[in-house]
């Protein structure tokens, strides 16, 4: 620490570039502080710092290190603790630009594996951002001294030492995450694709506030016929509604909670913090929200199970377009999700292409099948489950034809679910649609594609690697700007950034040994699982959160300069 004080005294008043002298590691009582990267000027991205403490000095009980789930939940808690303390003490009035800023890449409602805090068998390391103080481009050494040698150590001591934390809150944070993981593992053995606990709070505060609604909330209560119990290691048995495998319809009037329930299932792939309201609502990890995505690029996707005989003799077994329609984009989204290992499709009528979802009896009579290239989803959804074991949950408010293919029908009535499966079957018999199935006998093939590595050059000008996340929905990769707004289950800009670096890692592996998309990405995700998110970065940073293989694949599929090698007839 004294070395740091001397350097700050020496560079006080000098040009901002002199801050580069700070790079290195400094010994503080019971922890080490490292300056890993110094910003170029006070208006640039803040400097990257880290602090490391041995487990012995940190004093955490061994129970917090017994599983990967407990470790990343602990890391999440410490990240949130640091952010909370930094907000209280951070003073951005310390000079120009970002001077005085102290921050860390932190999540919202989800507990995600991150590299903002790294927990190993011997130490805990926390990575954060600091805006080094300056007036214009002159170093404010005294302000920097107060920030780095007085205020920051207080934040670190109150974050990294177990004795400084609310032990009950920490234990609850870790146990809630562990319980959610345990529940998610039980879904398959119980024949379920999702579960929502009784007394869950599903509505969110607002469109921009992902926290739970505070007033006027109707707690979730399962209908008796769908109620199951989940066993958890910490809370014991938790009752709630189980959604079985197969085809499930969520129906009901407008504003009664259909889409709210579906959004809960979309985010059931993540663990949630205590107090979120959805802590005990889980879905199978490979659930994918599917929507129409007009205008997206599609390259080399076999959409023939849904679309064929396009005028002009255009092939749909290797379909490409730079401007997909609602129906072709939704077909491509499904086929790409299947290719990437999806096991549950989540579909909302409101964000789907009508002509992709249904063709009723009257339209079948008016437009004969030989004039209609689209085979609607209603005629493929059963085959998808029968042939591949892929379940589907659909929100339907206007098309009763889907009652013919549903295994389970849930009616949302004033935010409460009712099991109306028996009633729905009786209605389907009483009022037959008389429409003809157009789906054939089988769903069709789901081929694996081999994207060409040359599609993924991350260089830009003199920079060998340009990867940035411009919010959750936009990835900058070299000269490519990739629109990820159609990947609705991404929740954190740190996931988007990690997707970019995962694609870079995958592309480098692909150049050495070309592989199909799913198997190639599986190697990357296995590498992350073994070595952590740091394996993606060429430098130390704490700005990544774990995405799913499905979401990395979805991003790859949205590169507009993507090249996919067409398979030979023998493949």
The string of pLDDT tens digits covering residues 15-29 is 999 999 999 999 999
- Tell me whether strands 287-290 and 247-251 are parallel, antiparallel or unpaired: unpaired
Reading the block at residue 376, the tokens are: 């609607």
pLDDT at 570 over 60: no
- Domain endpoint, select from 427, 446, 465: 446
**568 located within any domain:** no
pLDDT number for residue 91: 64
CB 49 within 8 A of CB 128: yes
Question: In this structure, are 226 and 372 located in the same domain?
Answer: yes
Q: Considering the domain boundaries, does residue 176 fall inside one?
A: no
Are both 322 and 425 inside the same structural domain? Answer: yes
Tally of domains in the chain: 3
**Same structural domain for residues 410 and 489?**
no
282-308 CB burial, b ≥16 within 10 A, e <16 = bbbbbbbbbbbbeebbbbbbbbbbbbb
Domain range enclosing 468? 453-556
At 348-359, the pLDDT tens digits run: 999 999 999 999
Question: Is 180 contained in some domain?
Answer: no
- Bridge partners, 27 (sequence order): 32
Of 415, 430, 446, which residue is a domain's last?
446
Residue 21 domain-assigned (yes or no): yes
Residues 197 and 328 in one domain: yes
Say if residue 450's pLDDT is above 80: yes
535 shares a domain with 430: no
Flag whether pLDDT at 397 surpasses 90: no
Strand order in the sheet with 236-244: 227-232, 236-244, 192-197, 281-283
Name the nearest CA neighbour of 377 among 284, 558, 247: 247
Confidence of residue 314 (pLDDT cuts 50, 70, 90): confident
Instruction: Check whether residue 189 and residue 98 sit in a common domain.
Output: no
Answer whether residue 561 is part of any domain: no
Tell me: do 94 and 50 sit in the same domain. Answer: yes
In a shared domain, residues 95 and 201: no
The reply to whether 567 falls in a domain is no
- Any idea what the Cα angle at residue 468 is, between residues 296 and 322, rounded to 5°? 15
pLDDT (tens digit per residue) in 271-289: 999 999 999 999 999 999 9
Confidence of residue 567 (pLDDT cuts 50, 70, 90): low
Statement to judge: residues 436 and 477 lie in one domain: no
In a domain, 105, yes or no: yes
Select from 446, 468, 496 the last residue of a domain: 446
**236 and 323 share a domain?**
yes
The reply to whether 207 and 277 lie within a common domain is yes
Q: Residue 445 corresponds to which tokens in the numbers above?
A: 């093939």
Beta strand pairing status for 416-419 and 408-413? antiparallel
Determine if the pTM surpasses 0.85: yes
Q: What is the CATH number of the domain that holds 331?
A: 3.40.50.300
When the pLDDT of each residue in the chain is averaged and rounded to a whole number, the result is 95
Q: 241 with 317, same domain?
A: yes
Residue 470 domain flag: yes
Q: What is the pLDDT of residues 80-99, one digit of tens each?
A: 999 999 998 766 567 788 88
Helix H or strand E segment including 519: helix 517-531
Tell me the DSSP string of 45-82.
SPEEEEEEEEHHHHT--GGGGSSHHHHHHHHHHHHHHH
């Amino acid at each position: 620490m004294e070395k740091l004080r001397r350097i700050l005294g020496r560079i006080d008043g000098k040009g901002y570039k002199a801050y580069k002298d700070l790079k290195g590691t400094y010994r503080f009582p019971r922890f080490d502080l490292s300056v890993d990267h110094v910003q170029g000027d006070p208006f640039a991205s803040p400097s990257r710092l880290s602090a490391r403490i041995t487990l012995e000095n940190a004093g955490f009980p061994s129970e917090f290190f017994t599983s990967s789930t407990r470790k990343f939940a602990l890391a999440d808690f410490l990240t949130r603790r640091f952010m909370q303390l930094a907000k209280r003490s951070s003073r951005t009035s310390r000079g120009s630009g970002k001077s005085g800023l102290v921050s860390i890449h932190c999540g919202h409602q989800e507990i995600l594996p991150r590299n903002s805090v790294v927990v190993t068998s011997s130490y805990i390391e926390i990575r954060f951002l600091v805006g080094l103080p300056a007036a214009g481009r002159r170093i404010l050494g005294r302000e920097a001294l107060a920030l780095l040698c007085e205020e920051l150590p207080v934040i670190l001591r109150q974050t990294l030492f177990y004795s400084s934390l609310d032990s009950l809150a920490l234990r609850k944070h870790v146990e809630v995450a562990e319980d959610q993981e345990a529940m998610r593992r039980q879904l398959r053995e119980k024949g379920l694709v999702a579960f929502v606990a009784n007394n869950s709070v599903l509505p969110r505060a607002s469109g921009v506030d992902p926290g739970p609604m505070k007033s006027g909330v109707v707690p979730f209560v399962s209908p008796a016929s769908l109620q199951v119990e989940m066993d958890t290691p910490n809370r014991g048995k938790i009752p709630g509604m189980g959604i079985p495998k197969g085809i499930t319809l969520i129906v009901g009037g407008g504003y009664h909670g259909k889409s709210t329930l579906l959004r809960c299932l979309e985010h059931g792939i993540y663990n949630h913090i205590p107090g979120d309201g959805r802590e005990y609502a889980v879905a199978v990890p490979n659930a994918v929200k599917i929507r129409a995505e007009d205008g997206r690029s599609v390259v080399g996707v076999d959409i023939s199970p849904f679309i064929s005989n396009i005028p002009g003799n255009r092939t749909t077994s290797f379909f490409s377009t730079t401007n997909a329609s609602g129906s072709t984009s939704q077909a491509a989204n499904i086929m790409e999700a299947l290719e990437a290992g999806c096991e549950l499709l989540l579909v909302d009528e409101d964000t789907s292409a009508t002509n992709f979802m249904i063709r009723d009896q009257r339209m079948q009579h008016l437009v004969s099948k030989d004039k209609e290239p689209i085979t609607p989803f209603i005629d493929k959804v059963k085959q998808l489950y029968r042939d591949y074991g892929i379940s589907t949950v659909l929100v339907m408010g206007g098309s009763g034809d889907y009652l013919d293919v549903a295994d389970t029908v849930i009616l949302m009535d004033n935010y409460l679910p009712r099991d109306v499966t028996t009633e729905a079957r009786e209605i389907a018999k009483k009022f037959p649609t008389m429409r003809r199935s157009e789906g054939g006998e089988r769903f069709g093939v789901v081929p694996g594609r081999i994207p060409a590595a040359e599609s993924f050059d991350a260089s830009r000008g003199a920079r060998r690697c340009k990867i940035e996340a411009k919010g959750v929905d936009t990835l900058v990769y070299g000269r490519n700007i990739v629109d990820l707004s159609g990947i609705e289950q991404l929740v954190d800009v740190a996931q988007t950034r990690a997707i970019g670096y995962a694609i870079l890692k995958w592309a480098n592996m692909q150049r050495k040994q070309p592989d199909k998309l799913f198997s190639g990405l599986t190697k990357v995700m296995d590498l992350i699982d073994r070595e952590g998110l740091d394996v993606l970065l060429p430098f130390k940073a704490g700005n990544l959160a774990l995405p799913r293989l499905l979401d990395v694949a979805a991003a790859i599929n949205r590169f507009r300069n993507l090249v996919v090698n067409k398979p030979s007839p023998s493949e």
